C-alpha cells in the first residue's frame, strides 16, 4: 500500500519517525511521500528521504505560507528538485478556508510554482480548499506548463468538478475524510475511474474513522484503501494493486530511483 501524502517532519510524528517507517516497511506500506509546506519542512522532507529508503519528498510552498515565497526559497527548491528522491512539486494551491496568506498572493505563488514544476519536469500535488473556481482558472491559464500530471490531494470538490478534471487527465488522492460518516463520496467516486485514484493519510492530520481526533500515521493507510475498495465495489487486493500502479505512474521518479538504486 502507498501513502502519497504525509508530514513525517511534523513534531507529532518526527520523534517516532524511525519506528513508524520500520513498521510501515514490515506491513508493506511503501512508498511514503513526504510533502513540503515551507522552507523548514522542505529541508526536513529531503533529509527524511535521504534517511529512509521508502520515503520520497516533494518540494514547494503551501498556500498558507505563500507570503514567505521568495528568492531564497526558489533557489532551495530548484536545488532540491534535481535530487533523485524528489518526486513532485507540492503541496501548492489555494486555501480560502483559512486565508492565512492574502488571496492575490496565493494565486500568484500558485501560478509561479506551476511554472517551476514544469521547468523541473515534476508533477503537481495540489492543496485546494474553498477555491476550486480560482484554482481551475489558474490551471487553465498555465495549461502550457501542465506537462507532468496534476494530483488533487484531499479532494473535497464536487462530482461535476471531478468530471471536468478527469477529462484533463488529473488524478485524485483521498484520505481520512472519505471514512467520515457524513462524507457523501459516492457521487464523486462515480466520476473518477479507478486508474486515477491514490491513497493518502495527510498524517498527522485527518485521522480516519474509527480513530478520528487522534494523531494520524501512515500505518492507518489500510483503513483508507479498504474504504476506497468498498466505494469502487472491488476487493481490497484489487484496490491495492490499482492504487500502487497509479502511484508509480503518477510519480515516475520513484521507479527511476529504484531502478538505479538496484
- 54, 31 contact by CB (below 8 A): yes
Indicate the residue among 30 and 91 with the shorter CB distance to Zn ion.
91
Nearer to Zn ion, 24 or 229 (CB): 24
Q: Please, which residue, 199 or 229, has the CB nearer to Zn ion? A: 199
Of 215 and 236, the one with the shorter C-beta distance to Zn ion is 215
Query: Measured at CB, which residue is nearest to Zn ion?
Result: 127
> Which residue number, 35 or 220, has a Cβ lying nearer to Zn ion?
35
CA 103 to chain centre: 22
Nearest-approach distance from CB 13 to Zn ion, in angstroms: 12
> Strand (E) positions, the chain?
3-6, 32-34, 55-59, 86-95, 124-129, 150-152, 171-174, 197-199
Please give the Cα distance from 130 to 152 (Å, whole number).
13
Residues found near Zn ion in the complex (CB under 5 A): 35, 91, 127, 202
- The minimum distance between CB 202 and Zn ion, in angstroms, equals 5
**Whole-number minimum distance, CB 92 to Zn ion, in Å?**
10
- Residue in 93, 162, 178 with CA at minimum distance from that of residue 127: 93
Q: Distance (Å, rounded) from C-alpha 99 to C-alpha 200? A: 24
- State in angstroms the smallest separation of the CB of 251 from Zn ion: 16
What's the CA gap between 210 and 208, in Å, rounded? 6
Amino acid at each position: 500500500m502507498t501513502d502519497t501524502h504525509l508530514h513525517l517532519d511534523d513534531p507529532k510524528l518526527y520523534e517516532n519517525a524511525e519506528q513508524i517507517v520500520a513498521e510501515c516497511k514490515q506491513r508493506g506500506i511503501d512508498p511514503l511521500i513526504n510533502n513540503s509546506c515551507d522552507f523548514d519542512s522542505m529541508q526536513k522532507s529531503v533529509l527524511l528521504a535521504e534517511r529512509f529508503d521508502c520515503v520520497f519528498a516533494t518540494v514547494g510552498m503551501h498556500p498558507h505560507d505563500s507570503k514567505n515565497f521568495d528568492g531564497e526559497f526558489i533557489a532551495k527548491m530548484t536545488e532540491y528538485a534535481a535530487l533523485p528522491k524528489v518526486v513532485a512539486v507540492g503541496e501548492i494551491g489555494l486555501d480560502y478556508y483559512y486565508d492565512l496568506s492574502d488571496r492575490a498572493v496565493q494565486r500568484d505563488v500558485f501560478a509561479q510554482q506551476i511554472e517551476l514544476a514544469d521547468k523541473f519536469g515534476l508533477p503537481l500535488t495540489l492543496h485546494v480548499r474553498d477555491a476550486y473556481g480560482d484554482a481551475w482558472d489558474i490551471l487553465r491559464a498555465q495549461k502550457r506548463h501542465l506537462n507532468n500530471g496534476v494530483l488533487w490531494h484531499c479532494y473535497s470538490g464536487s462530482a461535476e468538478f471531478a468530471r471536468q478534471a478527469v477529462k484533463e487527465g488529473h488524478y485524485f488522492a483521498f484520505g481520512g475524510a472519505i471514512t467520515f460518516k457524513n462524507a457523501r463520496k459516492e457521487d464523486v467516486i462515480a466520476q473518477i475511474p479507478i486508474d486515477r485514484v491514490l491513497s493518502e493519510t495527510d498524517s498527522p492530520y485527518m485521522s480516519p474513522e474509527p480513530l478520528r481526533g487522534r494523531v494520524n500515521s501512515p500505518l492507518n493507510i489500510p483503513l483508507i484503501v479498504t474504504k476506497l475498495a468498498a466505494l469502487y465495489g472491488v476487493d481490497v487486493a484489487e484496490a491495492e494493486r490499482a492504487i500502487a500502479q497509479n502511484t508509480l505512474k503518477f510519480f515516475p521518479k520513484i521507479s527511476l530511483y529504484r531502478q538505479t538504486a538496484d
